[in-house]
Amino acid sequence: MENEEDSRATTYTTVAAGSDFRHELEIRRSRFITVLRRSPDEETARSLVSDLRREFHDARHHCSAFVIGPDRMVQRSSDDGEPSGTAGIPMLEALIKRETSPKVADLSDVSVVVVRYFGGVLLGAGGLVRAYSESVSAALDLAPLVQRRRLRLCAIDVPHSDAGRLENELRNAGYVMAETGYEALHAVLRVALPDEAGTISEAHARLASLTAGNLQLRPQGTKWVDLPAR
Domain ranges for the chain, please list them: 11-143, 149-228
Smallest Cα–Cα separation from 109: which of 62, 142, 63, 148?
148
What is the side-by-side order of every strand in the sheet holding 30-38? Answer: 21-27, 30-38, 110-117, 61-68, 74-78
Check whether domain 149-228 has CATH 3.90.1150.10, yes or no:
no
SS3 category, 207:
helix
Phi-psi region of 181 (alpha: psi -120 to 50; beta: other; left: phi over 0): beta
- β-bridge pairing 110-117 and 176-177: unpaired
pLDDT in the model for residue 6 = 67
Summarize pLDDT for 15-56 with one digit per residue, the tens.
999 999 999 999 999 999 999 999 999 999 999 999 999 999
* Percent of the residues in the chain that have a pLDDT greater than 90, as a whole number: 73
What is the pTM for the complete model shown?
A: 0.82
Those residues whose C-beta lies under 8 Å from the C-beta of residue 16, and which sit 6 or more positions away, are 38, 143, 144, 145, 146, 226
Residue 6, Cβ neighbours under 10 Å: how many? 8
Into which CATH architecture does domain 11-143 fall?
A: 2-Layer Sandwich (3.30)
